[in-house]
Amino acid sequence: MPKVSPAHKERRREAILNAAMEVFITKGYQVATVGDIAQQAQLSVGALYRYFPTKADLMLALVRERLGRAPELFARMTRSVDDPWERLVRCVELFTTALRVRHPGTGRLLLVTMAEAVQHGEIRQGLHDRFAGLVEYVAGIIAEGIARGRFRQDADPQTVAALLLAMADGVAVYWVTGTPDVELNAMGQSLVAMLRSYLLPEPLLKE
Amino acid sequence: MPKVSPAHKERRREAILNAAMEVFITKGYQVATVGDIAQQAQLSVGALYRYFPTKADLMLALVRERLGRAPELFARMTRSVDDPWERLVRCVELFTTALRVRHPGTGRLLLVTMAEAVQHGEIRQGLHDRFAGLVEYVAGIIAEGIARGRFRQDADPQTVAALLLAMADGVAVYWVTGTPDVELNAMGQSLVAMLRSYLLPEPLLKE
Amino acid sequence: MPKVSPAHKERRREAILNAAMEVFITKGYQVATVGDIAQQAQLSVGALYRYFPTKADLMLALVRERLGRAPELFARMTRSVDDPWERLVRCVELFTTALRVRHPGTGRLLLVTMAEAVQHGEIRQGLHDRFAGLVEYVAGIIAEGIARGRFRQDADPQTVAALLLAMADGVAVYWVTGTPDVELNAMGQSLVAMLRSYLLPEPLLKE
Amino acid sequence: MPKVSPAHKERRREAILNAAMEVFITKGYQVATVGDIAQQAQLSVGALYRYFPTKADLMLALVRERLGRAPELFARMTRSVDDPWERLVRCVELFTTALRVRHPGTGRLLLVTMAEAVQHGEIRQGLHDRFAGLVEYVAGIIAEGIARGRFRQDADPQTVAALLLAMADGVAVYWVTGTPDVELNAMGQSLVAMLRSYLLPEPLLKE
DNA sequence: GATGAATGAGCCTTCATTCAT
DNA sequence: GATGAATGAAGGCTCATTCAT
């Protein structure tokens, strides 16, 4: 008979991950100490180690559970939209909103994670999975638009999707390093305009 | 006769910076040790410390002298081209070529640097300067294209330039973390196509 | 009806001691963890601590109850033999047999214990008692042999007994550390031969 | 051009080993901390780690350089004696003298080392080498005595030598754990008497 | 000027022991 | 009575920086 309920364990695990996220995005992975995270989670170091057996495992869990779920999250939040173009626009909106409002730390986590990925294979794999998942989803939207005759026929879904997402992550990373002069909304609008002019054939613009 | 001439000092300084770059992009700033860099530069640690009084100074010098010079480098290498559109395309080409061939380490340095920027104000400033400089240069090209009536009149030079560069750096970062399925050439071509459809009014395309 | 009968408690205590012995001789006292022992005993750490209030107490109990009983064990198992020489030979046989077959762990426990004795006074005392007890018993056999005129008259029972036991423990320790080329049976036979030539006067040999 | 002379480095290395020996035999390997050793050697931990890259390496060096040289030491110190029997007696004397006077710590080191050998393969190997070397040397003496017709013809050199050395180490270990009632000189004399009665045929005793 | 040995603070991780449930 | 989660002190080891030679 375990002393604490599984629910309690799960709640504590989440608390630790939140603390780790907060500390990692503030100090970076290497500079952050396990003690910092324990303190942030209001726990002793020893207790923390019962949940995550290494410092690296904390980072890895964050990559998998915070970044890695982006694809399914995007899919779920745009499922209701039928028109491919509208869905694409919705994605861009989601990204900028998420960055600014809902998950302001995710961008920083992405940056810190990328830096660590150079050295750490499992983290790199986690990022690959997330990127590949997002590309696949967005490429799917584009491919559908092409199939339905809504989008320009000679577009390459994979490449355009990768480009779009690299841009999104590039913006995210610049945004979180505090680069000035990056106005998210304006960039989102310009991006949509650029995509429209590229993907949507003139006749379809109904203008 | 002084033992070391200023020229020799300068050469040694460069050698140290090259070593630091090599080590930083291989291991990351925090994991790299001063000893690693000294060894790579075939120098004693003591000697190295006569050139750079702290480990942080090495990084900072790299940011300023390797990343910070990107704007002027771009300007110099596209100066000969007159037509704004051609110059823009040249920029994109430069980026992909540089990434793959000429300075394959720069992308990694950018990533490592960004990760440190979270913590280190001076590094952040260095990145700002680089980004601002590049945006200014690219925005200038676009503004000129608009002024000459070559580009779409309602485009916002600053925003589009920022978008373009965020995408470039996003691609760079994904490229260097080894994300698969990122094919630089195809992405460059799609990017050019996208920009063309956005910036160049239809009538001009037929010209 | 009490939940645990004294008999059950005693059985559990023994199980814990067995587990502790197993773990200690496998890993050594310092490297072994209380958790290891609890696991081996199929018990929770908390439960274990109800039987032995400290890790050191486990070791101490082993020294007293496993090693410390060697004298009486030897006495009991050789009681039936009357002739001093035969009893001495029986002792040597007991030692080699015990080492190889019956209690292969005892030798290791002896070693681990000796190493801890350097630091831990109570353990040292336990070893003293065991050694003194064995010496006393063996010296008694020799003294009796001398008194009966069976053994060489100028032998010093205490010293010869100590020598004999030091050799036995020396062999034991080498045996358990896995020193090769130590063939227990051959050594036992040579030891008996050596003792015979020393203790038994020539005339008696021809008898 | 190294900053310090090789001689200085060697002297410091020896100082560290002496300190390690002192601390290990006082506290045991596991309880001793690297800090203890550094302090005893009047050095910082960091400096110590320039000479020995792990705590285990300290122990290993001691095993190889303090214990492992016993065979050659014995050989050198008994070389001058021609008669096998005299040489054997000389060995026993050497052992008891060394234990009491010259290298009082070696016995303790042997004990601490044996305890660690159970777990640590390289240390075990070091002990094997020492034991095998000593056995070989002593067996050589005995074999020579047999060949010359001085010793009992049916003695097995290897086994008797092993027995002799196990006894010696057994005594050493009991001696250093502070077991009372172990009088080294008396034991040495009894041992010699026992060996004499076993190895030397009556006629040769010239009695 | 150059060298690399020395310093020592600090980090990740472990584990004996306690105690809420 | 039993459980095992929590505590926190301590240990091995690293590395930026200094400085005697």
Q: What is the DSSP string of C76-119?
A: HHHTT--SHHHHHHHHHHHHHHIIIII-HHHHHHHHHHHHHHTT
| pLDDT score of A204 more than 60 | no
Task: Give me the amino acid identity at B9.
Answer: K
Per CB-CB distance under 8 Å, the chain A contacts of B176 are 118
Cβ-count burial of A103 within 10 angstroms (0-12 exposed, 13-18 middle, 19+ buried)?
middle
CA of A42 to C1' of E12 (A): 18
- Closest CB from C118, C156, C202 relative to D190: C156
CB A108 within 8 A of CB A176: yes
Average per-residue pLDDT in chain A?
89
* Distance from the first to the final alpha carbon of chain C: 66
Nearest CA to D145 out of D194, D188, D87 is that of: D87
pLDDT of residue D205: 46
Per-residue DSSP letter, D79: T
- State the number of CA atoms in the 13 A half-sphere of C148 facing the CB: 15
Mean pLDDT calculated for residue range D29-51: 96
Q: At what angle do helices D6-27 and D104-117 cross, to 10 degrees?
A: 70
Instruction: Give the C-alpha separation, D161 to D164, whole Å.
Output: 5
Kindly report the nearest CA distance between residue B37 and chain A, in angstroms: 17
Amino acid at the residue C149? G
* pLDDT class of A207 with cuts at 50, 70, 90: very low
Separation of alpha carbons B142 and B145, rounded Å: 5
Q: How far is the CA of D3 from the C1' of E5 (A)?
A: 8
Distance in angstroms: CA B46, C1' E4: 8
CATH number for the domain running over A6-53: 1.10.10.60
The nucleotide whose C1' lies nearest the CA of A47 is F6
H-assigned helices in chain D: 6-27, 34-40, 45-51, 55-62, 70-78, 84-97, 104-117, 121-147, 157-176, 184-199
- Residue B173: the pLDDT is 84
Lowest mean pLDDT among D9-23, D121-135, D175-189: D175-189
For range A7-23, the mean pLDDT: 93
> Is the confidence at residue A193, as pLDDT, over 60?
yes
**Rg of chain D over all Cα atoms, to the nearest angstrom:** 20
Which amino acid appears at position C55 of this protein?
Answer: K
Does residue B5 lie within 7 Å of nucleic acid chain F, judged by its CB?
A: no
- What per-residue confidence (pLDDT) applies to C207? 43
- On the question of pLDDT at C201 being above 50, the answer is yes
Per-residue pLDDT at D58 exceeds 70: yes
Phi, psi of A118 (to 5 degrees): -55, -35
Does A175 or B3 have the greater pLDDT score?
A175
Q: Which nucleotide is nearest to A5 (CA to C1')?
A: E21
Q: Which residues of A touch B173 (CB under 8 A)?
A: 114, 166, 169-170, 173
User: pLDDT band for position D149 (50/70/90)?
Assistant: very high
pLDDT tens digits, C43-84: 999 999 999 999 999 999 999 999 888 889 888 988 889 999
What pLDDT, on a 0 to 100 scale, did the predictor assign at position D192? 94
Count of CB contacts below 8 A, A vs B?
161
> Which positions ≥6 away from A86 have C-beta within 8 Å?
none
Instruction: Give domain B65-205's CATH number out of 3.40.50.2300, 3.90.1200.10, 3.40.50.880, 1.10.357.10.
Output: 1.10.357.10
User: Would the pLDDT of C101 be above 80?
Assistant: no
Chains that touch A (3 or more CB pairs under 8 A): B
Cα nearest neighbour of C164 on chain D: D167
Closest approach of B47 to chain A, Cα-based (Å): 27
Per the structure, the residue whose CA is closest to nucleotide F6 at C1' is A47
Average pLDDT over residues A104-125: 89
Chain A partners within 8 Å of B158 (Cβ):
181
C9 Cα to chain D: minimum distance (Å): 32
The pLDDT value recorded for residue D96 is 86
pLDDT computed for residue A4 by the predictor: 65
**Would you say residue D178 has pLDDT above 90?**
no
Q: Do D160 and C190 count as a contact with CB atoms less than 8 A apart?
A: yes
Structure tokens at C42: 């199929």
Alpha-carbon distances, residue A191 vs A171, B159, C71, C99 (angstroms): 11, 9, 90, 82
Which residues in chain C have Cβ-Cβ distances shorter than 8 Å to D181?
A: 132, 135, 158, 162
What is the least distance, in Å, from the CA of B28 to any CA of chain A? Answer: 7
Residue C204 pLDDT: 46
CA-to-CA separations, B102 to B55, B177, B190, D81, D129, in angstroms, rounded:
26, 18, 22, 78, 58
Smallest CA–C1' separation from A34: which nucleotide? E12
Q: Where in the sequence of chain B do the CATH 1.10.357.10 domains occur?
A: 65-205
CATH 1.10.10.60 maps onto chain D at 6-53
pLDDT band at C202 (very low <50, low <70, confident <90, very high): low
For an interface test with C, which of D177, D189, D202 has the most C Cβ atoms less than 10 Å from its Cβ? Answer: D177
pLDDT, position D184:
85
Report CA-CA distances (Å) from B59 to B12, B109, C140.
Answer: 16, 9, 81
**CA of C35: nucleotide with nearest C1':** E15
Q: Is the Cβ atom of A7 within 7 Å of strand F at any atom?
A: no
Neighbours of chain D (3+ CB pairs under 8 A): C
Weakest-pLDDT range from A27-31, A183-187, B14-18, C18-22: A183-187
Percentage of chain D lying above the pLDDT 90 cut: 61
**D163–C187: do the CB atoms touch at under 8 Å?**
yes
pLDDT of residue D98: 84
SS3 of C3, please? Answer: coil
Contact B181 A135 (CB under 8 A): yes
Answer whether any strand F atom is within 7 A of the Cβ of D45: yes
Write down the pLDDT at residue D180: 59
Residue at shortest CA–C1' distance from E21: A3
A151: left (phi over 0), alpha (psi -120 to 50) or beta: beta
**Rounded to whole angstroms, what are the CA distances from C114 to D24, D84, D120, D159?**
14, 34, 17, 25
Q: What is the mean pLDDT of residues A166-171?
A: 89
| Angle of helix D184-199 versus helix C157-176 axis, rounded to 10 | 80
- pLDDT exceeds 80 at position A179: no
Q: Protein footprint on strand E: which nucleotides are under 7 Å from a CB?
A: 1-21
Say which residues have a Cβ less than 8 Å from residue B10's Cβ, sequence separation at least 6.
none
- pLDDT over threshold 60, residue D2: no
Spans in chain B with pLDDT lower than 50: 1-2, 204-207
Residue D193 in this model has a pLDDT that exceeds 90: yes
Q: Which of B119, B178, B197 sits opposite A31 (nearest CB)?
A: B119
Q: How close does chain C come to D70, measured CA to CA in Å?
A: 17
**Cβ-based contacts under 8 A for chains C and D:** 160
